[in-house]
Chains A and B, each alone.
Chain A
Amino acid sequence: EVQLVESGGGLVQPGGSLRLSCAASGFTSSSYSMNWVRQAPGKGLEWVSYISSSGSIIDYADSVEGRFTISRDNAKNSLYLQMNSLRAEDTAVYYCARLRGFSYGYADYWGQGTLVTVSS
């Protein structure tokens, strides 16, 4: 059974940092691209970042470019999101999702999400 479990969320002050993790199981994670998607309270889905299966291709939304860093450790079946210089508008539930299909791919499995709250 495919499972994605996020961790690392919490309350952080503006300007602070957090590192999110996503533990994958039930599939060979090194064969799949992955991404992070977030959802602010009461708002829609917002794509955050993408990483290819090997880690050679990485993309970010403009809203997080230069502040967030996506990475993966295929040996540990893990995906990460390092978030620096956090702002109030980064407050959201952060989901990791597995991608499949052609081009960048669609998200066929999602984690349960981890809540990040940026507030003083």
Chain B
Amino acid sequence: DIQMTQSPSSLSASVGDRVTITCRASQGISSYLAWYQQKPGKVPKLLIYAASTLQSGVPSRFSGSGSGTDFTLTISSLQPEDVATYYCQKYNSAPPLTFGGGTKVEIK
């Protein structure tokens, strides 16, 4: 099975900071990668699919990049409403459609 490893597992940054989250696949998955945001007590929300395509309605400060095994989610200017846990998920093949372990983002 392909493993998805996210780093860091948590981070604390100031409002306005640039934040980068990494997701690494144990084998190549082309661009079949999605990023989700889950705010505390809420349902996961799709942010990015196909590694770099922004879902409709998602603020442009979010961006994704990468292909193959290494992927990045970037928040260009962290806002208070971005406090959440972020997950990557590969969807090129199943089973399983593995999620990364999550990255908890907090405001410093």
Contact = CB atoms under 8 A, between A and B. Distances in A.
Contacts of A106: 34, 46, 49-50, 89, 91
Contacts of B100: 44
Size class of the contact patch on chain A = 20 to 34
Contacts of A11: none
A98 to B, nearest CB: 10
Interface string A82-106: 0000000000000100010111111
Contact of A61 (B38, B87, B92, B96): B96
A58 to B, nearest CB: 10
Contacts of B91: 99, 101, 103-106
A62 B95 contact: yes
B64 to A, nearest CB: 12
Among B34, B38, B89, B96, the one with the most A-chain Cβ atoms within 10 Å of its Cβ is: B96
Given A45-B44, A112-B43, A103 B92 contact: yes
A32 interface: no
A35 interface: yes
Dominant SS among interface residues on chain A: strand
Size class of the contact patch on chain B = 20 to 34
Contacts of B87: 44-45
Contacts of B71: none
B104 to A, nearest CB: 10
Nearest to A102: B32
Top 9 A-B pairs ranked by shortest CB distance?
A106-B34, A59-B94, A47-B97, A59-B95, A106-B49, A44-B102, A45-B99, A104-B91, A110-B43
Interface of B: 32, 34, 36, 38, 43-46, 49-50, 55, 85, 87, 89, 91-102
26 contacts: A35-B97, A44-B99, A44-B101, A45-B38, A45-B44, A45-B89, A46-B99, A47-B89, A47-B95, A47-B96, A47-B97, A50-B94, A59-B95, A59-B96, A59-B97, A62-B95, A95-B43, A101-B49, A103-B92, A104-B32, A104-B91, A104-B92, A104-B93, A106-B50, A107-B34, A107-B89
